[in-house]
Amino acid sequence: MEEWASPSLSGDEDSDFEDSLRCSVKKRRAKRPHRTTPVAKHSKKGPQIICQNGQKKPELPACDLFDAVKAAKSDMQSLVDEWLESYKQDEDTGFLELVNFFIRSCGCKGTVTSEMFKKMSNSEIIRHLTEQFNEDSGYYPLTASGPSWKKFQGSFCEFVRTLVYQCQYSLLYDGFPMDNLISLLTGLSDSQVRAFRHTSTLAAMKLMTSLVRVALQLSLHKDNNQRQYEAERNKGPEQRAPERLESLLEKRKELQEHQEEIEGMMNAIFRGVFVHRYRDILPEIRAICIEEIGCWMQSYSTSFLTDSYLKYIGWTLHDKSREVRLTCLKALQGLYGSRELTARLELFTSRFKDRMVSMVMDREYDVAVEAVRLLILILKNMEGMLNSADCESVYPVVYASNRALAAAAGEFLYWKLFYPEFEMRAMGGKERHRNPHAQRTFFHLLLYFFLESELHDHAAYLVDSLWDCAGPHLKDWESLTSLLLEKDQNLSDVQENTLIEILVSSARQAVEGHPPVGRVSGRKGLSAKERKVQADDKVKLTEHLIPLLPQLLAKFSADAEKVAPLLQLLNYFDLSIYCTRRLEKHLELLLQQLQEVVVKHTEPPVLEAGAQALYLLCKPEFTFFSRVDFARSQLVDLLTDRFQQELEELLQSSFIDEDEAYSLAATLKRLSAFYNAHDLTRWELYDPCYRLLRKAVDTGEVPHQVILPALTLLYFSILWTLTHIKGSGGSQKQLLSLKGRMVAVCELCQNCLSDVDLEIQEQAFVLLSDLLLIFSPQMIAGGRDFLRPLIFFPEATLQSELASFLMDHVFLQSGDLGSGQTQDDHMQIEHLHQRRRLLAGFCKLLLYGVLELDAASDVFKHYNKFYNDYGDIIKETLTRARQIDRSHCSRILLLSLKQLYTELLQERGPQGLSELPAFMEMRDLARRFALSFGPQQLQNRDIVVKLHKEGIKFSLSELSPAGSSDAPPNLAFLELLSEFSPRLFHQDKQLLLSYLEECLQRVPQTPGCPWGPVTTYHRSLTPVESTAEASPQGHSRSKKRRIEGPSKPQGVNQEESLQLNSVLPTPTLTSTAVKNKQPLGVLGEAEEEDALESEFTHSQLFSGTQRPRLSGAQYFQTPCNPSGPGLDNKLTRLSLMEEDEEEELESLDEPNEEWQDAKRNAPV
């Protein structure tokens, strides 16, 4: 990559490129007029500037220009004008000030003197500056943090742009040594010092961009001059002015010379900097190059929008860096955004289209978003370029979890499918009014795409994706409702369901403004204007749907899938409009339809939606509250009377047919759903439900479908009764009555845990865990001490049954889930959610002190085996348990391992125990437990030591039979214990070794035949040299480097090892001072040029296999003569050497032994 590093490769002082530039400088200076301003002699005190009055004043320090740009307090044009004035006073001194400005901007504190500039070549100057670059950190002005450096890059770029702009009419062609500046920046961009390379590349690219603008202006002036010349020449002999023609010819010649000079400068920068730095190892440098070449193509497309330049962007689309790929896409967006430019991009598009389409699935969301936006521009401006396969690659992204990406894909879908169909063309700069037929076409296309693509089950995500670009269409609720209410419509049942879901989703999106569940938007809040739009949309939605909602419910009242979402529309209404607009008659119709729906359906979604809708209407602040409350009382009276009647029949009869059971279950479901949202205490439903469940437990004659809603109804009854006890006003009788009811319900649920029906068992477990949590000691927190009599602690038998139920129904192997039958994915997910709910309820009981914390061992021992299903729940429980009591938690972890070990020992016996797969799983679990202690080694010191001692006691607690030389049966437990050894301090390891030896003396064993587990545990406690257990924050890493050539001297390796004690946030700086000491084989210039000339064959440059990388040893070698002068200085510079990215990663992957084990087994 370092193509122009000729001083280190050829052994000559100057490179060929530098020689060619010097020749061009001599030729151009011959055309410049002789300088009349006298040059001041440089005294020993320092450079001076001749003032206009003839007096001398000391030159401003070299850092003044740098400090002024850094401060960015003055106008940049004024700053450049001041510098130009000083440059005209003394060109050499002024140019040196500019050179030192660029050097200082690199972070180098060295300066270039006039003597150095006259007698040294650029490569020698750079080598000298590199030797003075003694910074120990990887920070320099372009990467430094802090408020003073925040705006430096922008000011730096603005200075370069203003400099060229101010010189474009005079000094740029006459007297300004631009070639020397380009030569210096080219040499710096070739440096091994990252700061030099980064800063000079930025300067050169911005300089090139400014020169491109100058070249564009010259081109326009030339064209204008040519038109004037042709117009003058075409005049008649009497009107033609020869002086005018002569003047125009002279002007054209001058413009041609200027253009040649500018093109020479641009060619020097492009070949000297861009063609090498666009492949730089640093992503920031590659991104700078691609960003600027995109600017060149947009501003001066005549010269730069060609395949020979486009290929660089095409190749870099495969870059491994997110920043570079993002820059490539944005550069291409600027090109494809213009129809004029896209006509010249056909060859490039055909070559790299597949790559651009594939970037829609980029792992970085922002890159994928820009890729979709680029395809939108191609779709708009290059008709027919994207085929159906390309478009089908984008369509699934409308259901992506990232909202920005989904919205971009939604815009692509809009322009591809919807826009061409329903005539929304721009006419005279204004959009034509959309007619109803066009809106119907939009919804038909939306239905077609959603149903035919079969990509997702929920239209809410499609609505959210299209909202930003097609929001006005989706908010056309008039067209939506007219489609649904049309009598002669040809919509299928699935299409009607989808249209209703689109209606509800668009209403929710318009009123609430947040994406559906599971989609991340990244927005923190809405602006005042957006909130105003939401409020207006809410009013429009309410006014339109209030008269139509009863009609929709009446039409679809028999279909549960349609009624439930329609009832949810009330959540997005401004219900006060019923009062303010006097629409009570529509409220009456709505209440009638609501009662009819509740009586007609038993599906939980419909009943819940109906209860929630009635709850929204039953608010005392509404003037129609009394009317709605009366309707609610009528409905509950009807359901209660029916329940009482059916219950008496059930209790009196000895046999119940299916119809009676179904009717009773349906009534209980309706009452249970309403009890969840409304206080039905005054209907006294507790006693009849308890009698029903008591009979079910005692006799088993009650159908299962009746028990489930009855249990839920009892649960809600207790909760509503609890809400009625406010303050100390609650009587003791009230509290005791509630306590008795709660205990009775807990007993019923405990009996139901052994029911034959799985659904009843799970429901009883959920209700029991909730009740125990609500009536736990935490209920008196917050000044509610009057509730103390209600606190309930479960008995040991109940705790045992809860734990047994968890083991039997949650921690199931994959073979036990389907009961021999294949389940579809949806059912498996549903069952997994239910099991997670059961586990979460049990863990909450543990953490809130309802159950003994030791019972957590039954959960923790499954941590590793069921990590994919319950890992997050168990990890959170473990963390909370440690916060409650660290010592107790560590004992529980040890107890979990003991239980697993004992179970395996009883099952398989002590022989060969440590070789079993189950034992290896136990070791993995122990390793995960050890990692859960975190980095707080000092805080956990005593706890870990106690854990080891208890583990040693357990391993030697049972001895072998008398006279036997076999190892104790629990001895293999020491191998599990060894996983906790990295958490010990060095001193504690010594103490534990002594404790282990003392315990082993009591155990008979054959001399000279140590047991394997003892050896393994002993080795884990044995100190290792250069280990870092006692100070994990400062652990050292040994570094292994791949050397492709002669090995480095020993002294160099020792110095390198000292640089790995800490990992810097950015790679360290490098040096080229010793670059030409002993050149090694690198990629030759001819091979690099051949590689560059292969047009469009380089598309995989960054995708998988990179070009051959060179190790640090191939760039330089340092003599290791200890008696040689300047050895310390060279070693200091060697500490700044830059490493290849892959070698840096290798060095980070090779920590010491114990920390490597911890990293290898860290949870993913």
- Contact assessment for residue 672 and residue 709, using Cβ atoms and an 8 Å cutoff: yes
Cβ density class 358-390: b for 16+ within 10 Å, e for less: ebbebeebbbbbbbbbbbbbbbebbeebbeeeb
Residues 6+ apart with CB under 8 A from 1068: 137, 138, 1059, 1135, 1136, 1137, 1138, 1139
With residue 116 as reference, give the H or E element that holds it. Answer: helix 114-119
Kindly tell me the sign of the dihedral angle through the C-alpha atoms of 937, 943, 947, 950: positive
Q: At what angle do helices 493-512 and 436-453 cross, to 10 degrees?
A: 110
Place of tokens 């740029």: 172
- Contact assessment for residue 314 and residue 345, using Cβ atoms and an 8 Å cutoff: no
- Contact assessment for residue 609 and residue 670, using Cβ atoms and an 8 Å cutoff: no
Residues 6+ apart with CB under 8 A from 654: 701
Q: How far is Cα 708 from Cα 311, in angstroms, rounded to an integer?
A: 69
Q: How far is Cα 989 from Cα 170, in angstroms, rounded to an integer?
A: 79
pLDDT at 420: 75
Any alpha helices (H) in 956-985, and if so which ranges? 973-977
pLDDT at 617: 93
Task: Report pTM.
Answer: 0.75
pLDDT at 1098: 40
* Token pair of 1141 as six digits: 């990215």
Place of tokens 């107890």: 895
Q: At what angle do helices 886-908 and 917-931 cross, to 10 degrees?
A: 180
Candidates 847, 855, 722; CA nearest to 779 is 722
Q: What is the 3-state secondary structure (H, E, C) of 45-94?
A: CECEEECCCCCEEECCCCHHHHHHHHHCCCCHHHHHHHHHHHHHHCHHHH
**DSSP reduced 3-state for 459:** helix
Q: How far is Cα 31 from Cα 26, in angstroms, rounded to an integer?
A: 9
Q: How far is Cα 672 from Cα 603, in angstroms, rounded to an integer?
A: 12
Residues of the chain whose pLDDT is less than 50? 1-62, 424-433, 819-822, 1025-1164
**DSSP reduced 3-state for 525:** coil
Kindly tell me the sign of the dihedral angle through the C-alpha atoms of 699, 702, 708, 710: negative
∠ at Cα 970 (966, 975), nearest 5°? 105
Using CB atoms within 10 Å of the CB of residue 239, give its burial: 0 to 12 exposed, 13 to 18 middle, 19+ buried. exposed
The Cα-based distances of 1008 to 791, 1005, 1011 in angstroms read 62, 9, 10
Residue 313 Ramachandran class (φ > 0 left, ψ -120 to 50 alpha, else beta): alpha
- Contact assessment for residue 175 and residue 32, using Cβ atoms and an 8 Å cutoff: yes
Using CB atoms within 10 Å of the CB of residue 880, give its burial: 0 to 12 exposed, 13 to 18 middle, 19+ buried. middle
* Token pair of 514 as six digits: 């947040």
pLDDT at 768: 95
pLDDT at 2: 36
**DSSP reduced 3-state for 58:** strand
Q: How far is Cα 1059 from Cα 661, in angstroms, rounded to an integer?
A: 80
- Contact assessment for residue 695 and residue 648, using Cβ atoms and an 8 Å cutoff: no
Q: What is the dihedral of CA 801, 807, 808, 811, to 10 degrees?
A: 160
Q: How far is Cα 626 from Cα 619, in angstroms, rounded to an integer?
A: 9
Q: How far is Cα 290 from Cα 312, in angstroms, rounded to an integer?
A: 8
Residues 6+ apart with CB under 8 A from 23: none
